[in-house]
Amino acid sequence: MIAAEKIILGIDPGTAIMGFGLISVKKGKMEMISIHELILKKYPNHETKLKYIFDKTLALIDEFHPDEVALEAPFYGKNVQSMLKLGRAQGVAMAASLYRNIPITEYSPKKIKMAITGNGNASKEQVAGMLQNLLNLKEFPTKYLDASDGLAVAVCHHFNSGTLTDTKSYSGWESFLKQNPDRLK
């Protein structure tokens, strides 16, 4: 049985720009609720950025009351410091979601692109164009593709509801720790 309505918050973690997209799914039909970006470049240090990520994620959760949160998993690059900072940004968004007891799911960048465009190597512009088509948007409401990536994560989660493979879902801290015992020190 399909739920009457579900709200999904999609998050594209970042340390320069963090993207957020919210969709509503009613009887299987998607509609964009809102799209946001958090511009982090202007903040002086990483700790301040993490605080703003936590605050913005909580504010969106408190305003829109999503049923589920989906995040893009950090990709493995060559720059270890960048990956570490990106992982912290994602972790803070996860913590805010778990703090409000909202289940979270992670998707790889390739899986998100594949779900939206059918091509795991699609460009950000191709993803944004397909989202505009899928959500019947006359024009895209933001100039930042990081925000459209947050929306793509939410749409990917909707498309994968009930068919989750290659993803990790957590319903709370206990669930997270049970599935990730290596993260407990």
Q: E strands, 113-183, where? A: 168-170
Instruction: Consult the annotation and say whether 68 binds a ligand.
Output: no
179: Cβ contacts below 8 Å, ≥ 6 apart: 168, 170
Instruction: Consult the annotation and say whether 72 binds a ligand.
Output: yes
Find the helix packing angle between 124-134 and 109-117, rounded to 10°.
50
Strand order of the β-sheet with 168-170 is: 29-39, 17-26, 5-12, 68-72, 104-107, 168-170
| CA-based nearest residue to 35, from 64, 6, 74 | 64
Q: Give catalytic residues, as residue numbers.
A: 12, 72, 146
Instruction: Consult the annotation and say whether 174 binds a ligand.
Output: no
Annotated binding site for Mg(2+): which residue ranges? 12, 72, 146
